[in-house]
Structure 1
């Protein structure tokens, strides 16, 4: 009607807006009509929703029992149990209403309202579960690994704050997006703020995440002997910012976690054996048959001490010696045992060579003197010894 009157220059007639009472009456009429038309679907939806809620309540009760048996989170079952125990009743109700509304084809107004509350409930419940799982995994690692429990325990307060902030921020953005709120500016603001905080505390967060990387990835543990650059040391403490080590000279070495992980680290403790190399040199006057038997002699010495022989043989002609090399494995990761075995092997080789008549070489030099015509002469003049008789008195 308004479109027909406008070309004639007549005033348009505005349709009166419905009052709250009229809208309520219309909603009630629509609801009654929907109940009459979809009673069977509504009853089936209610039954299905009741079963699902009953099952979820049983799962929650089961989770509580598991968590009550071991509230210290020492097992993965207790972590899962605590997470299941945090399932909220309002989430179950929202899930049940959503199932009923979808299955029974509820009116748009009712379905939209139920869908909004269901989306809100899902986001909040998922955030609660996520926080519980993340903190549960970290706390479980704190309790099961005694070597890293001290470091994780000191970091737990900061970790809880960071995890809670992250989960709440993500959940808030999702909720606002479901409310058709433009979250672009909020996301950009959080991003800029995060970058500013990250730049301001770059060193602290870098060392913190490096410490967590050491704890979870375990490239080394407390008490391990490691080698990096030219440092051989034993790990004494893994802190949030730095790791403290004790080198072989007794000095304490303190290095930041980030700097330590940037290096190539050799973990010597995880070896089930250690290889020892010996260089042996004998004089050039050694008979050829005895020189050929030296590798066999070295094998006998190594095996007599209970070590694992690898190889031995002639490696070169030295300035004043025939050079041999011996390689054998000591079947122990303990460096004290290895050092003692190296000592015993060296002494045993020394004794065996003495028994075999093999002489160790040492730096020597022989000087030859020649006459002007090239004839070899002695480096000192010939002296004729004259015997004299002692006269009798």
Structure 2
């Protein structure tokens, strides 16, 4: 007689690690529930004290957060320490405060081992995620504070904050999830390796985009120039109109708009003409060869008087530098203490006219230009 085969129980999935933990999760929850039930039946006094103390601590934490938030106020910007502290308080979750209260309670009231283990795991998860929230708030607050140092960069910072927030979220929450999984006893080596390979692939694929993005962040935070500055690079001189995430737009002196990628722009030598604190003017006078030496000796004093008679000008020196077959060359050097280019040109023109007038009064002629040989 043939004996019917007895059906085998359903096999547990062969995967290990996270799959096994998920497969056992309902059983673990059932075991913990039964442990709590038996704890209340066999040691109800300690159980009630533990739960009551936990709720009391949670209420204290909640009230303290509310009071501190009231003291810090809501008008402060995140760039101040009060505004930053208020942001951290606002982002402190009730789940973390409850987990912290439970963790403190089991330090003084010993619950069953299974309950203590569950509370420890929950507290670890809450702590890691709360730390991630605080780290994210800290990084973004530092970015906002750096950008808020100058109102002219506010628009550029606003356009950059979206991508900065995405990058910060990806990094912070990826690290938080890895830390949680590692604390739960799950092998994260393969996960970290996969993220590394994926990150390298994405980085290589979007290398140009990321290069321009980080160059834009360098411009915003290092500030080699700002919107409204007049800069010179390569063969272009113009005024910066906008700093974007990929390109910078510059209005050239000749009128056209020049669009250059941020990376290429930073790779070149840039002269920021707006940050000139003073301008140095070097002028050369070519005097006639037949000018008497006594009159030539008067020219440096005449140059000094012409410079000192102009506003925003500081005289440095005036010397006869050389005598050529065509003229006696006199070099005059002075400074303007105003960086404005119009003031610079007005000073140069004023000093030149004053010198020509004084030279004519003293009977000193300028050198004649010799005809160019044919």
| TM-score above 0.5 | yes
Question: Once the two structures are superposed, what CA deviation does each residue of 1:62-106 show, in whole Å capped at 9, x if it has no partner?
Answer: 336646325x75655323312221111221222222233335676
**Which is worse superposed, 150-159 or 89-98?**
150-159
Question: Kindly tell me: are residues 61 and 163 of structure 1, through their superposed partners in 2, closer, same or farther at Cα, counting changes over 3 Å?
Answer: farther
Which of the residues 72, 75, 88 maps onto 1:69? 75
Q: Provide the C-alpha distance between the structure 2 equivalents of 1:53 and 1:192, rounded to a whole number of angstroms.
A: 46
**Secondary structure of 2:330's match?**
strand
Which of the residues 330, 336, 343 maps onto 1:337? 343
Answering whether residue 352 of structure 2 is matched by residue 319 of structure 1, we say no
Q: Provide the C-alpha distance between the structure 2 equivalents of 1:34 and 1:192, rounded to a whole number of angstroms.
A: 55
Q: Provide the C-alpha distance between the structure 1 equivalents of 2:93 and 2:229, rounded to a whole number of angstroms.
A: 46
Question: Once the two structures are superposed, what CA deviation does each residue of 1:217-273 show, in whole Å capped at 9, x if it has no partner?
Answer: 111111111222333222111111111112232232221111111122221212221
Answering whether residue 351 of structure 2 is matched by residue 310 of structure 1, we say no
**Secondary structure of 2:74's match?**
helix
Structure 2 match to 1:12: none
TM-score under structure 1 normalisation? 0.75
**Which is worse superposed, 86-95 or 110-119?**
110-119
Q: Provide the C-alpha distance between the structure 1 equivalents of 2:184 and 2:269, rounded to a whole number of angstroms.
A: 51
TM-score under structure 2 normalisation? 0.79
Answering whether residue 92 of structure 2 is matched by residue 94 of structure 1, we say no
Question: Kindly tell me: are residues 199 and 284 of structure 1, through their superposed partners in 2, closer, same or farther at Cα, counting changes over 3 Å?
Answer: same
Question: Once the two structures are superposed, what CA deviation does each residue of 1:271-317 show, in whole Å capped at 9, x if it has no partner?
Answer: 22111111112122121122222222111110011211122212222
Q: Provide the C-alpha distance between the structure 1 equivalents of 2:132 and 2:63, rounded to a whole number of angstroms.
A: 19
- For residue 138 of structure 1, report the CA deviation from its aligned partner: 3.7
Structure 2 match to 1:206: 211
Runs of 4+ displaced beyond 6 Å: 49-53
1:79·1:140 contact (CA, 8 Å) conserved in 2? no
2:291·2:365 contact (CA, 8 Å) conserved in 1? yes
**Secondary structure of 1:240's match?**
coil
Structure 2 match to 1:241: 246
Q: Provide the C-alpha distance between the structure 2 equivalents of 1:275 and 1:192, rounded to a whole number of angstroms.
A: 55
- For residue 177 of structure 1, report the CA deviation from its aligned partner: 0.6
Q: Provide the C-alpha distance between the structure 1 equivalents of 2:292 and 2:168, rounded to a whole number of angstroms.
A: 76
Which of the residues 162, 167, 172 maps onto 1:167? 172
**Secondary structure of 2:204's match?**
helix
Q: Provide the C-alpha distance between the structure 1 equivalents of 2:116 and 2:85, rounded to a whole number of angstroms.
A: 33
* Structure with bigger RCO (C-alpha 8 Å, 6+ apart): 2
Structure 2 match to 1:6: none
- For residue 174 of structure 1, report the CA deviation from its aligned partner: 0.6
Structure 2 match to 1:146: 151
Structure 2 match to 1:83: 88
Question: Once the two structures are superposed, what CA deviation does each residue of 1:126-155 show, in whole Å capped at 9, x if it has no partner?
Answer: 111222233344445566643222222223
Q: Provide the C-alpha distance between the structure 1 equivalents of 2:89 and 2:273, rounded to a whole number of angstroms.
A: 43
Q: Provide the C-alpha distance between the structure 2 equivalents of 1:249 and 1:309, rounded to a whole number of angstroms.
A: 33
Structure 1: where are the runs of 5+ without partners?
A: 1-19, 366-393
2:58·2:98 contact (CA, 8 Å) conserved in 1? no
1:236·1:244 contact (CA, 8 Å) conserved in 2? yes
1:76·1:140 contact (CA, 8 Å) conserved in 2? no
Structure 2: where are the runs of 5+ without partners?
A: 1-30
